[in-house]
Amino acid sequence: MSSLNSSHSSISEHSNDFYSTGKELSRDSYNETICALCKEGDIDSAMALLSQMEALGYHPNSISYTCLIKALGSVGRTLEADAIFNEMILSGCRPGIKVFNALLKNCLRKGLLELADKVSRVLDGSGLVRDRETFEILIDYYVHAGRLKDTWLVISQMKRKGYQPDSFVYSKIIELYRDNGMWKKAIAIVGEIREMGITMDRRIYNSIIDTFGKYGELEEALKFFERMQQEGIVPDIRTWNSLIGWNCKFGNLASALDLFNRMQEQGIYPDPKIFLTIITRLGEQGKWDSMKNIFENMKGRGHRKSGAIYSVLVDIYGHYGKFQNAEDCINALKLEGLELSPSIFCVLANAYAQQGLCEQTVRVLELMEAEGMEPNLIMLNVLINAFGTAGRHMEALSIYHHIRESGISPDVVTYSTLMKAFIRARKFDLVPKIYSEMESFGCSPDRKAREMLKSALMTSTRVDMKSPTDTDTHGLSGILDKIEELKFATSLVVWLL
């Protein structure tokens, strides 16, 4: 009852004569109020008003349906958005291309590939024509999911429809080459971009910098970083995160800390993900005083609310004990007035996962669901990593099966993380099976996945060569079978190299 009253209170702010006078809203007023609530982000009140509207026999107009679908999708409530979309079609309203794009984007963001395919089929059968945004949504998803063939297929379709690649598409092509081990080819795209007369914008520079960083070419990454600034392009949080992250990855902690300070001097506040990367590296080297100094400097810049999340991360990583319970952690953030979001939950889950604290990682997921946020693929990948780090490969495998049963399509990170869990558990024979499954589902292995497969095959081969059990048991035929197995494994390793 109290939640209904709070909904009424929120709604009355948009309609002076609603509830306070007892007057019934007109259909137009309902629609206007629903749209206003969606724009404010008060989606629960908008949904409550929708129920009241329909109880009176009214149906929303196409604008209200569109607002509801976009608002639900923006907070990760994809299945509800899909239900509203179906209701919109049944009511006789004809969705525009923007509705299809919003729903498609939200489905792909959650990894709901089957649902996204359904939306695409309805779009193609509606008589509407895919616009540039539709193609870019698909390209963005397929690149991040490591689906090489699907990406090129969409780019070809896009060109046939008369949409030439722009800076967004070229930045994705660079990332596609980067993730498939062809970093020199990715950099060569720069010449093609200039020949096409396309301006080198922040997106393209970010993709180039990240490509150099991923392959350890840190000096080249810094050269492009300086060049983009000389051309008047201001680095954003993604630029800084990439440079700091890769310098940490390759052991250049001094450079990473220098970039971290420069970023803050330029007025950009670090996000929790990159902060976790830095404190992880400092923690590995036992530099707790440096970690404390960084945190104190950040607090001194006046970001009290945001500082709460960093305090929690330092505590979790440092094993200080104050926030080893996920519930206490979330409550502390709420008391600081921090607005919880899926990304915050993901960072917290990742912090627990890196420490192998599986139960607390799972608890973060449960608390996220309790806040009305649906878990996404990123969160589930984090959970696989938590179990893998703790040496619990069967639980990691069960999360993978849960992902598939939920209709979510695993990405290259899912498969790589699961392969890593099997390697840690010395279940080398399971790694090629997961690798094959990744390929069979259209997910292109990246360099990391290929390296893990090579490692597993070579280790498995060494173990087999040391073990006499098969040859002792099966005699000559066993020896011949083993030789054939080793030949196959060796040829596969050579091919991967």
Q: Looking at 8-12, 26-30, 78-82, 436-440, which range is the least confident one?
A: 8-12
Report which of 290, 335, 289 is spatially closest to residue 312, judged by C-alpha positions. 335
Higher pLDDT, 137 or 461: 137
Tokens 């080893």 sit at which residue?
324
Instruction: Provide the mean pLDDT of the chain.
Output: 80
Average the pLDDT over each of 51-65, 174-188, 235-249, 364-378 and give the range with the smallest value. 364-378
The residues facing 23 across adjacent strands are: 18
pLDDT average, residue stretch 141-170:
89
Q: What does the alpha-carbon distance between residue 453 and residue 460 come to, in Å, rounded to a whole number?
A: 10
Of 359, 357, 379, nearest in space to 369 by CA: 379
Kindly state the helix (H) or strand (E) to which residue 64 belongs, with its residue range. Answer: helix 62-74
Structure-model confidence comparison of residues 488 and 66, the more confident one? 66
In this prediction, residues 337-342 reach a mean pLDDT of 73
pLDDT band at 355 (very low <50, low <70, confident <90, very high): confident
On the question of pLDDT at 217 being above 50, the answer is yes
Most confident of 95-104, 300-309, 362-371: 95-104
pLDDT value of residue 344? 76
Task: Answer for the pair 177, 185: CB distance below 8 angstroms, yes or no.
Answer: yes
The two structure tokens encoding residue 441: 């589902």
What is the pLDDT at residue 68?
92
- CA separation for the pair 497, 494 (Å, rounded): 5
Return the structure tokens found at 258. 């220098």
pLDDT, mean of residues 274-281: 78
Please give the sequence-ordered ranges of beta strands (E in DSSP) within 317-377, or none if there are none. none
Distance CA 20, CA 347 (A): 43
Q: What is the 3-state secondary structure (H, E, C) of 430-451?
A: HHHHHHHHHHHCCCCCCHHHHH
Q: What contacts 177, CB < 8 A, 6 or more positions away? A: 183, 185, 186, 189, 211
Cβ atoms 43, 75 nearer than 8 A: yes
Lowest mean pLDDT among 339-343, 358-362, 456-460: 339-343
pLDDT tens across 299-320, in order? 666 555 455 566 666 666 555 5
Q: Cβ distance 227 to 192 under 8 Å?
A: no
In sequence order, the β-bridge partners of residue 18 are 23
- What integer pLDDT is reported at residue 317 of this predicted model? 57
Considering only residues 307 and 277, tell me which one the structure prediction assigns the higher pLDDT.
277
pLDDT of res. 161: 92
Quote the pLDDT of residue 240: 95
What percent of the chain shows pLDDT beyond 90?
A: 24
Q: Minimal CA–CA distance to 281: which of 249, 315, 238? A: 249
> Residues, the chain, total?
497
pLDDT value of residue 302: 56
Select from 402, 436, 396, 433 the least CA-distant residue to 417.
396
The answer to whether residues 116 and 107 touch, using CB atoms and an 8 Å cutoff, is: yes
pLDDT band at 492 (very low <50, low <70, confident <90, very high): very low
What integer pLDDT is reported at residue 238 of this predicted model?
93
In the predicted model, what is the mean pLDDT of residues 85-106?
A: 89
Type of residue found at 255: S
Report pLDDT digits (tens) over 38-55: 988 888 899 989 988 888
Mean pLDDT of the 345-374 span = 80
